[in-house]
Structure 1
Amino acid sequence: MDNADNLFHPSLATALMKLDPEDGEQIMEYFKTHALLNREKALLQASVREQKKLLVENAKLKKDIEQLRFQLQDKQRRRTAKALLSPAPPPPTLSPTHTTPVNQSASPAEALAGVPTNPPPPSHDRRERQSRRRRGERKARPTSDPLSLGVEPRVDVSRLDLRVGRILSVRRHPLSETMSIQEVDVGENAPRTVVSKLGGKTDLEELQGSLAVLLCNVKACKMKGVVSQARLICCSTSDDCIELLVAPTGSMPGDRVTFLNYPGEPDRELQSKQRVWELLQPDLQVDCRGVANYKGCGFEVKGKGLCRAPSFTNCIIR
């Protein structure tokens, strides 16, 4: 109770004892206990606030680490591709002028053994070392890269950054009857603007507030004057019959769509010249059960289920 004693002036205890000699001491003990409880409560609240602050900072650090890892993987992939495309160095050739003549004054044993008695000129030796160093670096570069496989970079669905998004608003494109503009929350600080070719028969009002699947690592491009920052993943039987893929129940904006048989990390941004989306699209389909899949492997939100078409079966994904 030493800390509680410091909270009260001695004159307060004296006054209480004079007013109530019998219960004055118990009243003082009550006040001291109540003061200690209030102090412990304040310390506990401060600890909870500090814990919440640490959780927020940890989440931010995790996000920064994830972005740095994507950047590192992208740089390694670019380095691998550059090394594979660089021409192989020509094999070294020995010029007849580079042969070392046998010293006439050497002993017969040294002459038969081919041991040169005079070293080559320093300038020639330096040029040879530099040439060998350049050849060695060029040959060692592809094998030193941990991602070098001796083939072109992989082309599978793991390179796509597919996420669940919630459509916040939707409107017709002012310059096209077949296009619409959506503002979509994909779990980032600000929603993304998406321009889609959903066709003229799609009821846009029904899309507002619904969950969809988006390709988020496409390069931003301008469509009829509006910059589109992602791509809505749809399934269709024809140009006029289009449905958005539906995320599983319980999904949240920003949830990743992954594939069990293809666990790689997505590209930071798909390069248009590599045409990754165009190469993968023939293998993206909706099966007879209405489940979206790539080569038989379903679009999955871990712990929540599979992505499906609302009503279509046996159709393409685009």
Structure 2
Amino acid sequence: MALASVHARLLLSSTSASFLRGRLISPSLALSLSLHLPSRLAFFPRPSRRASFCSSIGDELSATAATVPSSVEKEEEVKKEEDSGKDPVREAAIALDIRVGKVVKAWRHPEADSLYVEEVDLGEPEPRTICSGLVNYVPMELLQDSMVVVLANLKPRNMRGIKSNGMLMAASDEAHENVELLIPPEGSIPGERIWFGSENEKDKQPNAATPNQVQKKKIWESVQPHLKTTEACVAVLDTLPMRTSAGEVTCKSLKNARIS
């Protein structure tokens, strides 16, 4: 009866509600009374299922957000990569499969006047077929039986009806009027993988990238601008010489020339 009496009085006046809210009752009793009052007179907001649901979602989002790295953490990761001392050009270059090859047979492409077709021994069970646009630069007799440098992990390309599976590497001057094949040092063995750097770095080469990776990541495109010959006609990646176990790769006479 006492509680009912309080209810009746509260319904008569918002002033009474305000007074009780501030002075006469405990928070627990105020919450109990609020469940029986109109919203405008309630001491506390009534519980809402919708509000509870949204709070749950908010808690989940907050927990998820806490697991996302902050911008500071991302900056620290980038700095660690920079501090590792890795050269991105060199890292890309060692993903290329550059090998010593020997041309065992060469002939003119029947459908393209500027192309040779070569069969090249790369130390594999069968010679590779490679098409090269060298007709205007390299006489057939110099190409036949020559030792060459081959970029071997490019995706095969159909060149006027013949599938070419690799590329002979050559140096050329600025105007592309003079072109010379790169020459492995005497004693090089067909199939040996070529590297850049010092003699003792041969065994530090990682596995070469797949042809799909070379194409997708544009590995050759990122490396090629850094390939050139020196004043001594040595092929280099920036300043790192191109090597086989027998020594440095060179060209015949083109100095400070581009390599492609």
Q: Does the pair score TM above 0.5? A: yes
CA distance in 1, matches of 2:246, 2:61: 59
Shift of 1:317: 1.0
Residue matched to 1:293 = 236
**C-alpha deviation, 1:196, in angstroms:** 0.8
In angstroms, what is the RMSD of aligned CA positions? 3.5
**Aligned residue type for 2:125:** N
Q: Whole-Å Cα distance in 1 between the matches of residues 177 and 257 of structure 2?
A: 13
- State the shift of 1:226 in Å: 1.6
The one-letter amino acid of 2:225's match is P
Q: Which residue of 1 aligns with 2:63?
A: 132
The answer to whether structure 1 residue 253 and structure 2 residue 197 are counterparts is no
Q: Give the Cα–Cα distance (whole angstroms) in 2 for the partners of residues 134 and 223 of structure 1.
A: 53
Percent of aligned positions with the same letter in both sequences?
Answer: 29
* Number of the residue aligned with 1:154: 88
Q: Does 1:178 align with 2:101?
A: no
CA distance in structure 2 between the partners assigned to 1:138 and 1:191 by the alignment: 51
Aligned to 1:105: 28
Q: Which runs of 4+ in 1 moved over 4 A?
A: 120-131, 261-264
Using the size of structure 1 for normalisation, the TM-score is 0.52
Amino acid at match of 1:241: N
Q: Are residue 163 (structure 1) and residue 90 (structure 2) matched? A: no
Q: Following superposition of structure 1 onto structure 2, how do residues 17-56 of structure 1 map, counting pairs within 5 Å?
A: none
Change (3 A) 1:137 1:194: farther
Q: Secondary structure at the match of 1:277?
A: helix
Alignment length (residue pairs): 197
Q: CA deviation at 1:273?
A: 4.8
Specify whether residues 160 and 271 from structure 1 end up closer, same or farther in structure 2 by C-alpha distance, changes over 3 A only. Answer: closer
Structure 1: segments with no counterpart, 5+ residues: 1-102, 107-119
Query: Where does 1:68-217 land on structure 2 (aligned, <5 Å)?
Result: 104-105=27-28, 125=56, 128-129=59-60, 132=63, 136=67, 149=81, 154-156=88-90, 157-217=93-153
C-alpha separation between the residues in 2 aligned to 1:154 and 1:129?
A: 40
Taking the aligned partners of 1:178 and 1:268, their CA distance within structure 2 comes to 29
Distance 2:255 2:168 in 1: 19
What is the match of residue 59 of structure 1?
none
Q: Residue 176 of structure 2 corresponds to which residue in structure 1?
A: 239
- In our comparison, the structure showing a higher alpha carbon Rg is 2
- Separation in structure 2 between the aligned mates of residue 202 and residue 298 of structure 1, nearest angstrom: 24
After TM superposition, give the deviation of residue 304 of structure 1 in Å. Answer: 1.2
Which residue does 2:209 correspond to in 1? 267
Gaps of 5+ in 2: 1-25, 30-50
TM-fit CA distance, 1:128 = 4.2
Partner Cα separation in structure 1 for residue 164 and residue 27 of structure 2? 81
8 Å contact kept, 2:241–2:248:
yes
Specify the SS of the correspondent of 2:196: coil
Q: 1:174 to 1:134 in 2, by over 3 A?
A: farther
Distance 1:104 1:275, change over 3 A: same
* Alignment partner of 1:312 is 2:254: yes
Q: Secondary structure at the match of 2:89?
A: coil
Q: CA 1:188–1:130 in structure 2 vs 1: closer, same or farther (change >3 Å)?
A: farther
